[in-house]
Structure formats: structure tokens, C-alpha cells
Structure 1
Amino acid sequence: MRIDGLTDHACLIVSGPDQKGIVAAMAALVARHEGNIVSLDQHSSDPVGGDFFQRVVFHREGLTSALPAIEADLAETLEPFGMTWTVRDISVPKRMAILASTEDHCLLDLLWRHRRGALPVEIPMVISNHTNAAEDVASFGVPFVHVPSQKGPDKSASEAAILQHLAGKVDFVVLARYMQILSSDFLEKVGVPVINIHHSFLPAFIGANPYQKAKDRGVKLIGATAHYVTEDLDEGPIIEQDVARVTHADSTTELRRRGADVERAVLSRAVLWHSQDRVIRHGNHTIVF
């Protein structure tokens, strides 16, 4: 599968210590390999002793055959700068697995956007610890896998089953309101980025019934946060956030409904940006181009 309109297009990501000559070196490298820069975004945290980040999209006819030479040139060119880099044929969509539970609003939104061509990814599978969404997922032509969660703190067997399904088949994983805490062992073994969505009440309204707690406190804003999953629960690098204004007249049910709308929008943007290589992780935060 290839993404229409992006044949022979590559995305180059560069990051490392800021210094003179990086932009010129990257432009010259693309030109050496007969490429044409389509878009270029860059950011420096400080021109003196700071960090530099760059995203370059370029077109080069016959990209597939040219990539090995481009990669070799990148390694040689960027070594003196001490930079890290990746380059990828962006006509090849990333493979995204979705993990879900009983709440299906984020899951179905991602599947709908994918069917409409708004998310440039492949979805090899949806894995859920419940079966309520099985028929809906099947209607989108996506394989559905049921892996029940274990009761008690030891989730090793269910996590092992999920890892077996994912192994070698995905480039990233999305938790579409998957209501299970993933262990550090799972995160280490899965070997790909994991993106989560949660309501922005955390940590102020942690635990069960956050919308009721928010209602009880008379909040004026509700929101959602999409972030990369790390061993520190809900503290990974943030990709995207958004809010909606509410009033004392909104019921708990209305807060949940409006919160679900924000969650869907925030998660879909985070997934889109990640799939387009627009997000660079740097420590515990991100640069999003």
C-alpha cells in the first residue's frame, strides 16, 4: 500500500546540538542526491548551546533505489555535528494497532477517519479486553482480537498475548481509552511508540468518575491530553491538548459527552502528526512541526 500523492517523497528528521552550518549541510545533501525540498521546518531552543530540530520533506524521483546512498551520506555528513537522524519514504504508511476497552468513541472515530482517508496509516488490528465493539470494528474491515484482562495486579499473561499479536506487525500503538495500565516490561518489549489519550483532569481528578468530581468542583474548562506512554503513569511527553468551556448548568452526562468530543479530536490530531513524522521527542517533552 502506498499513499496517493506522496510517491518518491521522503521525510528527514534531524536533531542534536545547535551549531552553524546544519541547515546548509542538509540543503546541500538533498541537492547532491537530486532531491527537491518541498517543506522545511526547524526550531532551536537557543542558538548558543541549545538544541536544534529540523523536519525536511523532499521529492526525489526513484527514491527507493536512492535511499541507501542518501542514508550513507547522512551518516557521514552529520557525524561531525553529533546529530541524530531518521529518513523515511512517507508514501509507505505506518502500521497502527489500536487497543480499546468498553468506551468506543475514540476507537470508532479513528476507524472512521481512516476509512475516509484522513489518517495515512494501515490498521492491522484492533485488540480489546471486551467484545462489545467487535461487530463495529469488523464493519470497517479491520481484524478484531479479543484478549481478556486478568483480574488482580498480575497482567503478565494478557500482556504476553497482546505482544504476540503485535510482534513485527506494527510501527506504533494507540490506546483508544484502553482502561488497563501497561507494565514497564510491556513497554520495553513492544519496541514501538505507544500513544495514550486521557481527560485533562489528571491529576486533579484522578481515579474513577473524573467528570463527576469535576462537576462537584464546578470546573469551567474540560479537556483532553494525548501523550506518549512511559513507565511514569500519564506523565509521558505531551503531543496535543485541547479544552472546552463549560458552566454550572452542564450536567455530569453533558460533561462526559463534551469531554468525549475533545478526546476524539485531540487523539486524532496526535495520531495524524505522529504518522506524518511531525513529532520529535526530546526528553519529557515534544517538538511538533
Structure 2
Amino acid sequence: MKPSSLILFILFFSISTNAQETTGAIIYDERDDYIESFPNRITARLFYVNTSNSFNLNDKSSGDVKLIPNKQDRIGASVSFRAISISYSIAPDFLAENKDNNDSKLFSLNLRTYFGKWMQTLDLYQEKGFFIAYENNSLYYPKIKSFKIGGSTSYILNDKFSFRAIASQNEKQLQNAGSFIPGIVYYYTKLDLNMDSLNDDMYLFDIALSPAYYYNMVPAKNLLLLAGISAGIGLNYSNSNEKSTTSLLTELNLKGTLTYDLSNIYLGAHYSYLFLNHSTEHSTRVNDRIPFFQVFIGYRFKAPKKLVAKADKINSKINTKP
């Protein structure tokens, strides 16, 4: 499915499954003491992002071998409507870091949706072109590829805490609040190690229980600061060269966000770093890293009345709660 078709499908799905019934005047803004929400506004933003998925193989006999992707700076856009958020980005040649990309490629797609207190994320990373760093040497292999898909399922315990205020800005945190957020993370990764005489595929399956705590601080009107951490433990299944290994998996995810939100215009920056550590064999340790940095600016605008009416009509027919 093309990215544009996927975006249209997800937006239609969000209208169908997360619509709110309205009678009379359309409600565009709601608030209580802790959260201001925008139930019938479309939240759109433009962003610059730098992200990648790197690997560090630590073998007791041969030492550290690092697989470092040929990183790219990207620009993109995201759209949120009610409970669905979707983002898409490209790596244009005019950005300095992309001018000499040696035929490397990076595609990433991030989705997020909410079902009451439940939050679901989906991440996809597809990379081509890696540097192999060993001791003091670094060689570029344009045919090495990686593919990762996965995400998390989480439950937000505190009603006064808004995760949407930091993830998609279709809510606004008005007072300090934090929440314990238990969850599960899971990823499937394929590494295509095509270099010199070696042509091997490595398959990794990760699943972990991942309790997290996030805190939204509002030090001044319209200013939001977030700090969050999750630390999980689970299992990894690895398969390579017809050898399979099941081992202990540890997960650590650090997050920080700064947002300035004035009326319906907002801007800010977001940083996160995901660590997945496990063994593939008794002598080999794999460190899986996903750093993510984003700068964004956006605007909330009223959804067309016909769109809201259509969403409410579909919601009424399928009898789905908001």
C-alpha cells in the first residue's frame, strides 16, 4: 500500500471508530481543571526529525562490531483527528547530511491511537546502507539492510495526565500531573547482512513487560515540560545461520519534551532513546538502539462540519462509544 493510501485509510478508520456523537452546536474545545481537549479539531504539524536504528554486536572472542546506518535528516508532516495520529517523513537532498548518502535509504512510519485509557503505538523502520565499525576501522556496505516493525500497548492510569499533549498536541495540559503507565513492547527485526563474502539473514523477536512513569510539568502558562522513563524485562528469540536462541531481554526508554502552546499554534521539541539489549548466542550480546529527535510547529483548525457530521453518523450506525 502506498503511504498516501495508508494515510487516507487510517484517517477514515479514525473517523469511523473514534467519532463522538454531537447534537446541535459542534464542540471544538472542552476543558476541566487539568486538561483542555479539542474533540473536533484537526491537529496538523510540520517537523524536522533525525532518527535511526543501529546495532552493536559484542562478541567475547572478537570484540565489538557496530552496525551504524548512514543517517539522514528528514522533514515531514503529521495529522491527528480525535484518537488517531499518523506521521510521514522524507529525506530531501537539500539537507546537508543527505547530500552524500551513498545510495542509503531510511523509511520510518509512526502511528498512535487511543481507546479510552488504552494507548496503541506502531513503529516501522526500513534502512539500507550501513557502516561496519570494528576496532579503528569503518567500512561502508550499501547492501546491508534492516527492517523493524513493532510498537507498544499501554494503559494510562491517571485521568488528569494527558499523553496526547506531548505526543500529538490535540490536548493541552493545564496543571502538573503524572501517571504510571504499564505496558507491553514488542518488535520484529530482520537484518540482511550482505557484505563481502558474507550473505546472512538475522531474525529477532522481542517482547517485554514495560512499566513506565511520565510527568507533565506546567511551569508557566502555555509552557509544558515532560520527563518520562520506561524500564522493561522480557524475552528475545533470535535466529541466524539456522541457529536459534532464546534469551533475556531488557528494555529502557527515555523521553523528554518541551512544548510552547499559544491558542491553537504550538511549537516544540521531542527527544527519546530506546535501548533493547539481549543475547543471540551464549557469547554474543546485541545492543539495539533507536534515538529519536524532533523539532515541530503546528496548528489546530476546526474540522469541517460535514466531516464531523459524517463521523457522528458512522459512529451512531456502528454504536461505537467515543
Band of TM-score, shorter chain? under 0.3
TM-score if structure 1 supplies the norm length?
A: 0.25
Structure richer in helix, relative to its length: 1
Higher-RCO chain (CA-CA 8 Å, sequence separation at least 6): 2
TM-score if structure 2 supplies the norm length?
A: 0.23
Structure richer in strand, relative to its length: 2
